[in-house]
Amino acid sequence: MLAQQLINGLVLGSIYALSALGFTLIFGVARVVNFAYGEFLMLGAFLTLTTMTVTGVDFFIALPLAMGMTALLSVAAYLLAIRPVMRGTDLQALLVTTGMLYVLREVAILIWGTAPRQMETGLDGALEFGDILITHQRLLAVAFLLIMVTGLYALLYKARIGRALRAVAQNRFGAETIGLNVDRVISFAFAVSGAMACVAGSLIGALYATEPSMGGSPLLKAFVIVIFGGLGSVPGAIVGGLVIGLTETLVGAYISNAFKDVFTFLIMLAVLLWRPTGLLGVRST
């Protein structure tokens, strides 16, 4: 029973960590708290689903296509609405992305309606170890997390653009001074974040349901995770996601299902009291 709960927690934690990765990346590079991030998860899920229904391809072919489209939308959102306030106050960026949250959700309702939809990954069956059961679908969450984290690390630490991303994250003005095109680097970060949102959203859409309101809950979880793990920290998002997923599952199973979310919020507050920048957070400038 405990082993099964741990596996469930790990799967949930992987979903949470995936949802938080793109959000924390944007904050790390651009110092923008993107309140519309959950809506990009939702758009990603719908784009995957629509690609599947329109062209008839299966989930694993539709997903990369949708990732590309979500990345473009994310860059467009940056260029049209977020970039104009980048030199303004933090408050303005918050207001603009909050406005985007409403606009994107309402546009999704206009296009796809409010009814939840099913998305088939084509994966059936399950792994069994003794009395522990894990469906292939849910295993996908762990696999996706591993792939995305490996990909992100390769991008950040092996690719040339990764060095630019880290430079901008460390010191935007310094990066500008040494001749980096900061605007282009941030656009690239928004593209990567959009693609990651699409993966997380499609996964949530396949495991639960695809609907216009699906972005709210992952966004809240992403907030908790990044506060817990450290805002802007990639390892913080992974550790935070897994810890929150495990805590929630165990509290839900053994203490109180109704109050598991309250419990995770309280853990987050406790971490903040102890370490105001989160577990793995760096002091912000």
Q: Of 101 and 238, which has the nearer Cβ to other proteins?
A: 101
| Alpha-helical segments (H) within the chain | 2-30, 37-55, 59-77, 90-112, 136-157, 160-170, 172-177, 182-207, 216-229, 234-254, 260-274
For other proteins, the closer CB: 58 or 106? 106
170 binds other proteins (CB under 8 A): no
The nearer residue to other proteins, 105 or 138, going by C-beta atoms, is 105
Site string for other proteins, 68-107 (x = CB under 8 A): -------------x--xx----xxx-xxx-xxxxxxxxxx
With binding defined as CB under 8 A, does residue 253 bind other proteins? no
Q: List the x/- string, 33-72, binding to other proteins by CB under 8 A.
A: x---------------------------------------
Q: Give the distance, in angstroms, between the CA of residue 131 and the centroid of all CA atoms in the same chain.
A: 32
DSSP state of 133: E
Is there binding between residue 272 and other proteins (CB under 8 A)? yes
Q: Give, as ranges, the residues between 190 and 249 that touch other proteins (CB under 8 A).
A: 220, 223-224, 226-227, 231
For residues 47 and 51, give the distance between their C-alpha atoms in angstroms, rounded to a whole number. Answer: 6
Q: What is the DSSP letter of 117?
A: B
CA within 13 Å, CB half, 67: 15
Size of the site for other proteins (CB under 8 A): 40
Residue with smaller CB distance to other proteins, 4 or 92: 92
Say if CB 120 and CB 57 are below 8 A apart: no
Nearer to other proteins, 192 or 227 (CB): 227
What residues contact 117, with CB distance under 8 A and at least 6 apart? 49, 205, 209, 210, 211
DSSP string, 35-95: TTHHHHHHHHHHHHHHHHHHH---HHHHHHHHHHHHHHHHHHHIIIIIGGGTTS-HHHHHH
CB of 129 to other proteins, least distance (A): 34
Binding site for other proteins (CB under 8 A): 27, 33, 81, 84-85, 90-92, 94-96, 98-107, 220, 223-224, 226-227, 231, 258-259, 261-262, 265-266, 268-269, 272-273, 276-277, 284
